[in-house]
Amino acid sequence: VKEVAASKLTGKLKQVPPLYSAIRVDGKRLYEIARKDSDKAEDVEIPMRDVEVYDLKVGSELDEAVVKSGVVNGRLYREAVKAFQAEADAKKSEESLEKDESTKQLANDQGGKKKGRRRNNKRQKEQKPKLFDEQTVPTIEQSKSKLELPEFSIAVKCGGGTYIRSLVRDIGYELDTVASMTGLVRTKQGPFVLDDALTKENWTADKIYEAIRQSQDRLE
């Protein structure tokens, strides 16, 4: 992996952006085409773009600052999603059975009662709970920061417009296999680095004002 990344995917490159991106083709954004018609999306010709990768390092351990940022644990996330979906399907099946058993009673409902039930059902759909929130989304712990193939990490220094998802995909292509990005953390943007970011426990007025002042000094 290291040899492929260093020799073929650094420097000035021609890159094909991912299908799920905001780039416009024939006046429509790619993600809109993909969501509307997945079969049609496969035939879309995505224009290549010029990008530059200044440095690309492949590793087997996540940087401490990256772990602290709360990068999502892809494997645990997928497992949690499957478990959530299985539970939702089971509940839906149970509700469907209860609905069938009470069909006669529902058929006898009249006027406002029936309309009221419909409005309540619609309200329940609109208030559907989120799968994860800031506290429950599974993140990588420091003890799990060491990776083994097929998982690996990359540290990239690149120019604007570069898609890291496409870069990971192309690493897979070069190795005659497939690869997908499971987490992304921006560690530096111009003069700003991740280590300088305020953690949630430090979100006080004084520390926020001081961080703003320091940011302004760096931009001068």
pLDDT value for 49: 92
* Strands, sheet with 49-59, edge to edge from the N-terminal-most edge strand: 11-15, 49-59, 153-158
Structure confidence at residue 139 (pLDDT):
87
Specify the pLDDT at position 16.
Answer: 92
Q: Rounded distance, CA 66 to CA 142, Å? A: 10
Which of 138, 154, 143, 147 shows the shortest CA–CA distance to 187? 154
**Domain 1-89+149-184 falls under CATH 3.40.50.2300:** no
> What residue ranges do the domains of the chain occupy?
1-89+149-184, 189-219
CA distance between the termini of the chain:
40
At a CB cut-off of 8 Å and minimum separation 6, what does 7 contact? none
User: Are 30 and 20 in contact, with CB atoms under 8 Å apart?
Assistant: yes
Nearest Cα neighbor of 182 from 193, 172, 196 is 172
Which pTM was predicted?
Answer: 0.71
42, amino acid identity: E
pLDDT of residue 155: 92
* Residue-level pLDDT, tens digit, the chain, 220 residues: 788 787 889 999 999 999 888 888 888 888 888 888 777 777 888 889 999 999 999 999 988 888 888 888 888 888 888 888 888 888 888 777 777 666 656 555 554 455 555 555 555 555 555 677 777 888 888 888 898 888 899 999 999 999 999 999 999 999 999 999 988 999 888 888 888 888 888 889 999 999 999 888 888 7
- pLDDT at 4 (0 to 100): 79
The pLDDT assigned to 77 comes to: 86
Backbone torsions φ then ψ of 126, nearest 5 degrees: -65, -30
Q: Which among 37, 56, 5, 3 is positioned nearest to 170, based on CA atoms? A: 5
User: How many angstroms separate the CA atoms of 39 and 168, rounded?
Assistant: 24
